[in-house]
Amino acid sequence: MQIHTYGSAQILHHVNIYVNEGEIVSIIGPNGAGKSTCLKSIANLVPRKEGTVFFEGKNITSVPPHELVLQGISFIPQGRSVFPSLNVEENLDLGGFTIKNKEELKKRIEETYVRFPILKERRKQKAGLLSGGEQQMLSIGRALLCTPKLLIMDEPTLGLSPQMKKTIFQKVKEINKEKNIAMLLVEQNARMALKLSDRSYVLELGRNKLEGTGTALLENKEVEHLYLGGR
As to burial, measured by CB atoms within 10 angstroms (0-12 exposed, 13-18 middle, 19+ buried), residue 13 is: middle
Predicted pLDDT of residue 7: 43
pLDDT of 118 reads 97
| In-domain check, residue 97 | no
pLDDT, position 168: 95
- Which pLDDT does position 141 carry in this prediction? 96
pLDDT tens per residue, the chain (231 residues)?
444 434 446 788 888 999 999 999 999 999 888 999 999 999 999 887 788 999 999 999 999 998 999 999 999 999 878 999 999 999 999 988 888 899 999 999 999 999 999 999 999 999 999 999 999 999 999 999 999 999 999 999 999 999 999 999 999 999 999 999 999 999 989 999 999 999 999 999 889 999 999 999 999 999 998 888 654
Q: pTM higher than 0.85, yes or no?
A: yes
Helix (H, G, I), strand (E, B) or coil at 170: helix
Task: Look at strands 50-51 and 182-186 and give their pairing.
Answer: unpaired
Domain annotation covers residue 129: no
Q: Is residue 59 a part of any domain in this protein?
A: yes
Neighbours of 104 (CB within 10 A): 12
**Domain count of the fold of the chain:** 1
Q: What angle do CA 198, 168, 91 make, to 5 degrees?
A: 120
Domain carrying residue 20: 2-81+149-227
Residue 71 inside a domain? The answer is yes
Backbone angles phi, psi at 109, to 5 degrees: -65, -40
106 is a domain residue: no
CATH number of the domain residue 174 falls in: 3.40.50.300
User: 118 with 137: CB under 8 angstroms?
Assistant: yes
pLDDT value, residue 1: 42
In a domain, residue 92? The reply is no
Q: Is residue 118 part of a domain?
A: no
- Say if residues 24 and 176 touch (Cβ distance below 8 Å): yes
**Could you tell me the end-to-end alpha-carbon distance of the chain, in angstroms, rounded to an integer?**
34
Across the strands, what pairs with 152? 75, 184
